[in-house]
């Protein structure tokens, strides 16, 4: 039966080999509430062990998008596992939640154990950075759905927050907007990035025009920054009124999601210098400011909303994270 299934394109033994290969990486993500063992039918997490008094669960799911095609083309796979965790963990962090556990889904045409193991090791590293446990996942071989060599990823993160600390809170006109730098494009805008690179006649292996000590692939594939360690203690202490994870839709669509309808973010574009990577994309792709702001994070990975009287102390506490004032909150209309 196994031979018949293998002839149809699915190798059960390869799947078992992958589980064995990634068990050490998953075990390294242990945290209170999870022992991070793999192989069961479901992942188990003990919420009581985390010490919450009146918790709300917050969940998020996401993928990596067409950034995967760059990783596949260049053979650089571990970073996209970090991206996968980051896109989910940063989303629930924006609601004040502590990421507790994570599950991944890896689908491909034919399972290449080395490639899949590299991806999942990246997932485990992302979980370590986010402080959450990798408690399970799923691998699927689907010949005919995916082209040979291609794979896709999805991630699922669950976190918790005390009810009184759920974000967004009560933002007010006059509140200060504080930005935390991104590490690059993160995992957004890669359909446009790939189009620009192709039309510019560039190759992923060349020195990046904006960072000569790195290849274009290395610069573009820099993993998404995870903000949990810097921000979670501040959120748990009630020092933030809101936060926005700057993902798809860029600085146009995401900041307003952190505010009620009667308020609007007033962003000062002169408050930070657009990183050279985005300047190159604008020049090579003929993009105007509106294109940049609606497609990319333009150097801001997370936006915080804080009361004016708490802004200076917050900037001081986040100085190592290179936080900066990027605007304020105003009445809408």
Tell me the HSE value of 92 on the side-chain side, using a 13 A CA sphere.
27
Give residue 17's pLDDT band: very low, low, confident or very high (50, 70, 90): low
pLDDT at residue 320 is higher than 70: yes
pLDDT at residue 268 is higher than 60: yes
Q: Let me know: does 153 contact 120? Beta carbons within 8 Å.
A: no
pLDDT at residue 279 is higher than 80: yes
Give residue 246's pLDDT band: very low, low, confident or very high (50, 70, 90): very high
Give residue 223's pLDDT band: very low, low, confident or very high (50, 70, 90): very high
Per residue in 111-150, pLDDT (tens digit) is 999 999 999 999 999 999 999 999 989 999 999 999 999 9
- Percent of the chain's residues with pLDDT above 90: 82
What's residue 13's pLDDT? 63
Give residue 11's pLDDT band: very low, low, confident or very high (50, 70, 90): low
Q: Let me know: does 85 contact 155? Beta carbons within 8 Å.
A: yes
Can you tell me the distance from the alpha carbon of 280 to that of 296, in angstroms, rounded to the nearest whole number?
Answer: 13
Cα 234–chain centre separation: 20
pLDDT at residue 250 is higher than 80: yes
What's residue 129's pLDDT? 97
Give residue 1's pLDDT band: very low, low, confident or very high (50, 70, 90): very low
The residue ranking higher by pLDDT, 139 or 22, is 139
- C-beta neighbour count of 37 within 10 angstroms: 15
The residue ranking higher by pLDDT, 250 or 38, is 250
At residue 21, the 3 state secondary structure works out as: helix
Give residue 240's pLDDT band: very low, low, confident or very high (50, 70, 90): very high
State the chain's mean pLDDT as an integer. 92
What's residue 255's pLDDT? 97
Can you tell me the distance from the alpha carbon of 327 to that of 333, in angstroms, rounded to the nearest whole number?
Answer: 17
- Listing DSSP states for 107-122 in one string gives EESS--HHHHHHHHHH
Max CA separation in the chain (angstroms): 69
What's residue 19's pLDDT? 65
Per residue in 34-64, pLDDT (tens digit) is 865 666 677 788 888 888 999 999 999 999 9
Can you tell me the distance from the alpha carbon of 29 to that of 120, in angstroms, rounded to the nearest whole number?
Answer: 12
pLDDT at residue 322 is higher than 50: yes
Q: Find all residues with CB under 8 Å of 246, minimum gap 6, and list them.
A: 182, 254, 255, 297, 300, 301, 302, 303
For residue 80, which of 90, 68, 62, 92 has the smallest C-alpha distance? 68
The residue ranking higher by pLDDT, 165 or 333, is 165
- Percent of the chain's residues with pLDDT above 70: 91
What's residue 275's pLDDT? 97
C-alpha torsion 99→175→163→103, nearest 10: -20
């Amino acid at each position: 039966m196994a031979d018949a299934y293998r002839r149809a394109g699915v190798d059960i033994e390869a799947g078992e080999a992958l589980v064995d290969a990634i068990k050490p990486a998953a075990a390294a993500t242990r945290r209170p509430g999870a022992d991070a063992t793999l192989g069961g039918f479901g992942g188990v997490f003990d919420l009581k062990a985390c010490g919450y008094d009146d918790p709300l669960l917050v969940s998020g799911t996401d993928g990596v998008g067409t950034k995967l095609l760059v990783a596949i083309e260049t053979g650089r796979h571990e970073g996209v596992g970090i991206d996968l965790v980051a896109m989910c963990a940063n989303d629930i962090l924006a609601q004040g939640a502590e990421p507790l556990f994570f599950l991944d889904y890896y689908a491909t045409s034919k399972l290449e154990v080395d490639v899949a193991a590299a991806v999942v090791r990246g997932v485990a590293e992302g979980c370590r950075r986010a402080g959450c446990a990798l408690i399970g996942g799923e691998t699927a071989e689907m010949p005919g759905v995916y082209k040979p060599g291609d794979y896709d990823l999805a991630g699922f993160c669950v976190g918790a927050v005390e009810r009184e600390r759920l974000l967004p809170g009560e933002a007010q006109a006059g509140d200060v907007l504080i930005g935390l730098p991104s590490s690059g494009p993160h995992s957004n805008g890669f359909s446009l990035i790939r189009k620009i690179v192709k039309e510019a006649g560039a190759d992923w292996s060349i020195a990046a025009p904006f960072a000569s000590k790195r290849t274009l692939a290395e610069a573009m594939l820099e993993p998404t920054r995870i903000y949990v360690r810097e921000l979670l203690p501040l959120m748990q202490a009630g020092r933030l009124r809101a936060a926005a994870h700057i993902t798809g839709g860029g600085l146009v669509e995401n900041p307003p999601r952190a505010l009620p309808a009667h308020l609007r973010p007033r962003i000062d574009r002169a408050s930070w210098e657009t990183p050279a990577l985005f300047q190159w994309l604008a020049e090579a792709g003929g993009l105007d400011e509106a294109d940049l702001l609606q497609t990319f994070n333009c150097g801001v990975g997370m936006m915080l909303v804080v009361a004016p009287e708490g802004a200076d102390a917050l900037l001081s506490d986040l100085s190592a994270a290179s936080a900066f004032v990027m605007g304020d909150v105003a009445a809408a209309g």
